[in-house]
Amino acid sequence: MKNYKEFKITTKPVNNELVGGLLWQLNIDGINETDSGLIVFADATKDISRGDVEKILTGMVYQNLIDEFTIEEETFEDKNWNEEYEKKVNVIEVTDKIVIKPSFKEYPHKPNQIIITIDPKMSFGTGEHATTKLVLQLIEKYVKAGDKVLDVGSGTGVLAISSVMLGAKSALGIDNDEWCLLNGNENVTANNLEGKVEIRMDEINQIHETGFDLIVANINKHILLEIAASIKTKSIKNGRLILSGLLQTDKEEILQTYFKLGYGLLDSADMDEWCALVFQLK
């Protein structure tokens, strides 16, 4: 039976969105919220340690984002993490038009709404986190009928799925995590989008497709900097790019990197400590 590491984290003040967003930089499998902080879990075979978690939290203290923290580490035999998580998953009204709901909850459909069924399991992208809300709002604004979309770091597949449901012709979602491959494809099926949305376990340099009209990526800053040149090679001329997963303090470095590659800034949006940016390739 598989074993899992569990890191029980408390912070003062409690800021689960910010802490959780930064912890997704690590090779973890999921996060559950508590009243005092977060529970982070990862396959025991993965290269994540208490020290990795502590480094991120110490950096947050240094930046005055939190005052203090504690970490408790335990190892458990595999348990039904999905059942634990389902208790906390809600219906999310992202905009007046976009609603994200798990299959196991009811929601009264309103006129002109698009209902996206997402069962997140251990993948990131429920629509509840500010970074996902920001990018979904911008997809609604910038996706065009007939677009070919690439979702880099697809997680649950919510961005690829929503792009097609908002008018794109097709979407390819890529992620380097097997959970995301399985969960993403489950969510594609749940929304009856087989043939229009494809999810693969790939890095951006492993895909042969190019000529994407719209590329979206909700990932942390260091990966967006690392793959910036690769993103450009996948875009059409004048292609649009939406980046999220960024703290306000990340904005300037991201802007400078993408400006050097020939992108111009079209738009930006902020929510709490997070921001999202819309570029167009010149």
pTM: 0.77
Mean of pLDDT values over 17-37:
81
Residues above pLDDT 70, as percent of the chain:
93
Count of H helices and E strands in the chain? 9, 14
pLDDT at 80: 62
User: Which residue blocks in the chain are alpha helix, DSSP H?
Assistant: 16-23, 50-62, 81-86, 130-142, 158-165, 178-190, 221-226, 228-233, 251-260
Residues above pLDDT 90, as percent of the chain:
60
In this predicted model, what pLDDT tens digit does every residue of 44-74 receive, in sequence order? 888 889 999 999 999 999 988 889 999 999 8
pLDDT at 129: 79
In this predicted model, what pLDDT tens digit does every residue of 155-168 receive, in sequence order? 889 999 999 999 99
In this predicted model, what pLDDT tens digit does every residue of 82-131 receive, in sequence order? 566 666 678 889 999 999 998 888 889 889 999 999 987 655 556 677 88
Residue that wins the pLDDT comparison between 214 and 78: 214
Mean of pLDDT values over 266-276:
93
Sorted by where each starts, the structural domains of the chain and their CATH numbers stand as 3-79 (3.30.70), 130-281 (3.40.50.150)
pLDDT at 127: 66
